[in-house]
Amino acid sequence: MQHYFMNQTLTTGQTIQLPTNISHHLGKVLRAEVGDHIELVSLEHQVFEAEVNKLDGSEVDATILKSTQKNVELPLAVTIVSGLSKGNKPEWIVQKATELGVSQVIFLPMNWSVVKWNQKASKKIARLNEVALSAAEQSHRNKVPNVTYLDGLKSLTELNFDTKLVAYEESAKDGEETQLVKAVKRTSAGQSIVAVFGPEGGISEAEIALLKDNGFVLAGLAPRIMRTETAPLYFLSAVSVLTELI
Amino acid sequence: MQHYFMNQTLTTGQTIQLPTNISHHLGKVLRAEVGDHIELVSLEHQVFEAEVNKLDGSEVDATILKSTQKNVELPLAVTIVSGLSKGNKPEWIVQKATELGVSQVIFLPMNWSVVKWNQKASKKIARLNEVALSAAEQSHRNKVPNVTYLDGLKSLTELNFDTKLVAYEESAKDGEETQLVKAVKRTSAGQSIVAVFGPEGGISEAEIALLKDNGFVLAGLAPRIMRTETAPLYFLSAVSVLTELI
């Protein structure tokens, strides 16, 4: 079933005209028919099942049948902070992180980032939010992750999170594995957890010092060295396993 | 430190001439110098630290200093079976799965695979094994995963594994989450576990029936729907969390 995010409150029994982009996708791209069922997510993140009841030119109407009661969100609000990386890695990170339940992705330049975004940042961020929306639709999320850009780690340290980690390669090599588990375990349902991942070149000592001074805990992930675009996915999967499976 | 796989037994104190491709990489690409330290992995999967002691034209010699005692391999031998998918997803899967500790990746056509490899299979598999080698070097693995092609699921059912799973989207939607955890928990260190992942279009009912008849257990992964190239990474991360972190 197609899954779309609606920026409005929905009520069972209500018939609504779908927004232009959704109407176009259903009517023209998918060639939906009257009677087809779709999922619509309300402003309050509830997933409703609806039935297409009118296809008139570019206008598509749907009737809300029932709330599905589905909640596929992680119990914790997870923020991934990614030091700017090359090529299309940011798109890949946002897409996969969305499938894995991320709440927020923050991109920021770090000391060893080879790339800089500068004036391109707002255009890139707009594109990345489209990637997040598309991935959230396909993963049938209740929420669309937010993708933002900060000008550096200092700005990050001004934000509040209940638990703060930095994925540090050195720690992983030293066999340090349990900070990740401890951090997830001490974060209660509904609380927020942030993890910082360096760019291809890694994280500098000055950046580690700044993060430690601001309450970030160094956490090895697994014994193996993972690339800048893989490590966040391991982390999100770990949060899922530790909070949803066991 | 650079990390290379040697197809020979290594002994502390021994001085060896490195194979041509490794000599070239060290000597010409990295411009290594006498005294530089590198990691060499023996045929028996032991990681040794070695020192470059000669750079003569295209010949590079190294002296084995000591065994590092490093073992970054997952406790279980994990095989990922991936229904043929589009574009460069196979390369991504092999690269990321290698970073995440996979032992073996098997590609095979499935009912709803949009792509077929046929005569191109051997060339693709050769390329994918290069991707695995490169990723294993970067992740400092003790072993290089093997990438192979089978002509179909029937051939897969003739192979032996201690634990057999199929990642089935239907199960995930029905809230079924614990088969994954049970399966990993009942697989002892050193044993093998295989998980089948369908292509973009999913797995057909006939394929599910064939797998179930051959001892494969249907396992939902997490509440969210993941793409064909993401689900194997979640699974490998879950195996890591369940066997290495807790």
Q: What is the pLDDT of residue A171?
A: 53
A187 near A146, Cβ under 8 Å? no
Judge: B222–A244 Cβ closer than 8 Å, yes or no: yes
Tens of pLDDT along A163-193? 999 998 655 555 555 789 999 999 999 999 9
Spatial contact of B93 and B80, defined as CB atoms under 8 Å apart: yes
pLDDT at A195 over 90: yes
**Cα atoms in the Cβ-side hemisphere of radius 13 Å centred on B243:** 28
Q: What is the pLDDT of residue B230?
A: 97
Judged against a pLDDT cut of 80, whether residue A228 lies above it is answered with yes
Q: Choose the weakest-confidence range: A24-38, A115-129, B141-155, B164-178.
A: B164-178
Please report which helix (H) or strand (E) contains residue B11, including its range.
none
And the tokens for B151? 């002509």
CB-CB neighbors (< 8 A) of A226 in chain B: 99-100, 139
Mean pLDDT within A54-75: 94
Q: What is the pLDDT of residues B158-173, one digit of tens each?
A: 999 999 999 996 555 5
| Residue range B68-79, pLDDT digits in tens | 999 999 999 999
pLDDT of amino acid A66:
97
Q: Average pLDDT in the A17-39 region?
A: 94
User: How close, in Å, is residue B101 to chain A by CA atoms?
Assistant: 7
At A93, the pLDDT band (50, 70, 90 cuts) reads very high
What local confidence, expressed as pLDDT, does residue A174 receive? 55
Q: B83 has which bridge partners?
A: B108
CA of A57, closest CA in chain B: separation in Å? 30
Taking CB atoms and an 8 Å cutoff, what residues of chain B touch A241?
181, 237-238, 241-242
- pLDDT at position A145 over 70: yes
- What is the pLDDT averaged over residues B210-229? 92
Which ipTM was obtained for this model? 0.93
Percent of chain B with pLDDT over 70: 96
| Chain B contact for A29 (CB, 8 A cutoff) | no
- Give the pLDDT of residue B178: 77
CATH class for the domain made up of B3-67: mainly beta
Q: Is the pLDDT of residue B242 over 90?
A: yes
Which whole number is the average pLDDT over A220-225? Answer: 85
Separation CA B98–CA B102 (nearest Å): 5
Range from A48-52, A103-107, A123-127, B175-179 carrying the lowest mean pLDDT: B175-179
Q: Answer yes or no: do A178 and B245 touch at CB < 8 A.
A: yes
Does position B196 have pLDDT exceeding 60, yes or no?
Answer: yes
Residue reference for tokens 């028919």: A33
State the pLDDT at residue A155: 98
> From the CA of A168, how many Å to the nearest CA of chain B?
14
Residue B225 clears pLDDT 90, i.e. is over it: no
pLDDT, averaged across chain B: 94
Q: Which long-range contacts (CB under 8 A, 24 or more apart) does A186-191 make?
A: A187/A76, A187/A162, A187/A163, A188/A162, A189/A75, A189/A76, A189/A243, A190/A75, A190/A76, A190/A77, A191/A76, A191/A77, A191/A162, A191/A163
pLDDT in tens, B87-112: 999 999 999 999 999 999 999 999 99
Q: Where are the domains of chain A?
A: 3-67, 77-245
For B106, other C-beta atoms within 10 Å of its C-beta total 18
Q: Specify the range with the lowest mean pLDDT, choosing from A167-171, B134-138, B141-145, B214-218.
A: A167-171
How sure is the predictor about A136, in pLDDT bands with cuts at 50, 70 and 90? Answer: very high
How many Å apart are CA B240 and CA A20, to the nearest integer? Answer: 45
Q: Flag whether residue B39 sits within 8 Å of chain A, measured between CB atoms.
A: no
Q: Do A96 and B230 touch (CB under 8 A)?
A: yes
* pLDDT of B169: 62
Portion of chain A with pLDDT greater than 90, in percent? 90
pLDDT at residue B47, as a whole number: 97
CB atoms within 10 A of CB B157: 15
DSSP string, B56-90: ETTEEEEEEEEE-----S-SSEEEEEEE--STTHH
pLDDT tens, position by position, B10-30? 999 999 999 999 999 999 999
Q: What is the pLDDT of residue B222?
A: 85
Residue A239: the pLDDT is: 97
For β-strands B77-83 and B217-219, DSSP reports them as unpaired
Q: In chain A, which residues have their Cβ closer than 8 Å to the Cβ of B223?
A: 71-72, 244
Q: What predicted TM-score, i.e. pTM, was given to this entire model?
A: 0.94
CATH code matching the domain that covers B77-245, chosen among 3.30.2030.30, 3.40.50.2300, 3.40.1280.10, 3.40.50.410: 3.40.1280.10
